[in-house]
């Protein structure tokens, strides 16, 4: 039986939480063969080929905050999200908080490690 593959849809917001979701998604794609990442900007812009891509695999939405923009964008495109994770909620529960929207410092790296573990639990 073929292994299930997921598409990760990270937040593209310019907050520290958005940076964490993108780092988590990028690391996870590098480390696993059962995931790909989709670009929310290209998805929003209806870039050629992305409509088919977002329909091909079950999508895990990695929202940065309570705004849940990833969910909303995908809903506008007629895509039902398979699984959802909210970085801000998960990191608050772990008493972690990223502080920089453009660079991963030591604290940001701790957030990435925590979120990668949470994402692994969702995928596995």
Report the residue count for the chain.
Answer: 124
State the pLDDT at residue 3: 65
On whether residue 81 sits in a domain, the answer given is yes
List, for residues 23-64, the tens digit of each pLDDT value: 999 999 999 999 999 999 999 898 888 778 888 899 999 999
On whether residue 69 sits in a domain, the answer given is yes
CATH code, domain with 25: 3.40.50
On whether residue 1 sits in a domain, the answer given is no
On whether residue 37 sits in a domain, the answer given is yes
List, for residues 63-117, the tens digit of each pLDDT value: 999 999 999 999 999 898 999 999 999 999 999 999 999 999 999 999 999 999 9
Q: Is the pTM of this model over 0.85?
A: yes
On whether residue 105 sits in a domain, the answer given is yes
Structural domain of residue 64, as residue ranges? 6-123
14 is written with which tokens?
């310019």
Nearest one of 12, 8, 21, 19 to 61, comparing CA atoms:
8
Please tell me the total count of domains within the chain. 1
Query: Which residue(s) pair with 30 in the sheet?
Result: none
């Amino acid at each position: 039986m073929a292994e299930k593959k997921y598409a990760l849809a990270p937040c593209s917001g310019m907050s520290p939480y958005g940076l964490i979701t993108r780092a988590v998604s990028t690391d996870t794609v590098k480390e696993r063969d059962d995931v790909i990442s989709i670009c929310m900007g290209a998805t929003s812009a209806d870039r050629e080929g992305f409509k088919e891509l977002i329909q091909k695999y079950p999508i895990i939405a990695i929202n940065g905050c309570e705004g849940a923009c990833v969910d909303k964008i995908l809903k506008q495109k007629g895509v039902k999200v398979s699984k959802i994770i909210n970085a801000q909620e998960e990191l608050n529960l772990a008493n972690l908080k990223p502080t920089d929207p453009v660079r991963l410092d030591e604290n940001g790296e701790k957030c990435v490690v925590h979120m990668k573990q949470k994402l692994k639990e969702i995928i596995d």
